[in-house]
Amino acid sequence: MKQPSLARLVALAVGDLRAQPLRTALSVLVLVPLAVSWFLLASIAGSLDEVGRAGEARNLVVTDIDVFDLANIALGASDLAAASAAAGDRAESVTPLVLRLVEVDERVLQVRAANVTDWSSVHGLQLLSGTMPDPSKDEMAVTRAVQVATGWQRGATVRVFGTVFTVTAVLKGSGSKVASLWLPLARAEQLFERPGEFQFVVVRLHAGVDGDAVKADLRTVFPDQLVMDESAVQAEATRGVRSMGDMALVFTTLGIVGLAVGSANATALVVAERGRSLGLLRVVGFTPRTVRSLLAVRAVLLAAAAITVGLAIAWPLVASRPSFVLRSFTIDPQVDAATVVLGCVLSLTSAYVGAVVAGRRALRLSAGELLEA
Note the pLDDT of residue 348: 84
Last residue of a domain, which of 223, 252, 286? 223
| Cβ atoms of residues 218 and 83 within 8 Å | yes
Residue 233 placed within a domain: no
Specify whether 215 is located in the same domain as 250: no
Specify whether 166 is located in the same domain as 130: yes
Specify whether 83 is located in the same domain as 213: yes
Burial environment of residue 102 by CB neighbours within 10 A (0 to 12, 13 to 18, 19 or more): middle
Sign of the Cα pseudo-torsion (50, 51, 57, 59, in order): positive
Note the pLDDT of residue 54: 43
Residue 58 placed within a domain: no
Specify whether 283 is located in the same domain as 362: yes
Specify whether 20 is located in the same domain as 129: no
Specify whether 48 is located in the same domain as 80: no
Specify whether 261 is located in the same domain as 351: yes
Which residues is 182 bridged to in the sheet? 112, 141
CB atoms within 10 A of CB 251: 16
Note the pLDDT of residue 90: 95
Residues 93-129: tens digit of each pLDDT:
999 999 998 888 888 888 999 999 999 989 889 899 9
Note the pLDDT of residue 5: 82
What span, in angstroms and rounded, lies between the C-alpha atoms of 165 and 161? 10
Residue 126 placed within a domain: yes
Residue 76 placed within a domain: yes
Q: 253: domain range? A: 6-52+238-372
Residue 1 placed within a domain: no
Note the pLDDT of residue 28: 85
What is the 3-class SS of the chain, one letter each residue?
CCCCCHHHHHHHHHHHHHHCHHHHHHHHHHHHHHHHHHHHHHHHHHHHCCCCCCCCCCEEEEEECCCCCHHHCCECHHHHHHHHHHHHHHEEEEEEEEEEEEEECCEEEEEEEECCCHHHHCCCCEEEEECCCCCCCCEEEEEHHHHHHHCCCCCCEEEECCEEEEEEEEEECCHHHCCEEEEEHHHHHHHHCCCCCECEEEEEECCCCCHHHHHHHHHHHCCCEEEEEHHHHHHHHHHHHHHHHHHHHHHHHHHHHHHHHHHHHHHHHHHHHCHHHHHHHHHCCCCHHHHHHHHHHHHHHHHHHHHHHHHHHHHHHHHHCCCEEECCEEECCCCCHHHHHHHHHHHHHHHHHHHHHHHHHHCCCCHHHHHHC
Note the pLDDT of residue 55: 42
Specify whether 86 is located in the same domain as 205: yes
Residue 167 placed within a domain: yes
Specify whether 345 is located in the same domain as 217: no
Residue 120 placed within a domain: yes
| pTM of the model as a whole | 0.59
Specify whether 21 is located in the same domain as 112: no
Q: What is the pLDDT along the chain (373 residues), one digit of tens a residue?
A: 566 788 888 888 888 788 888 888 888 888 888 788 777 777 777 666 655 444 445 889 999 887 777 878 999 999 999 999 999 999 999 999 999 988 888 888 889 999 999 999 898 898 999 999 999 999 999 998 888 888 899 999 999 999 999 999 999 876 667 778 999 999 999 999 889 999 999 999 998 888 889 999 999 999 999 998 876 656 555 555 556 666 666 766 776 677 667 766 766 666 666 656 666 666 666 777 777 788 888 888 988 898 899 888 888 887 776 565 555 555 667 777 777 888 788 878 888 887 787 777 666 655 555 555 5
Residue 156 placed within a domain: yes
Note the pLDDT of residue 329: 57
Count of domains forming the chain: 2
Specify whether 258 is located in the same domain as 321: yes
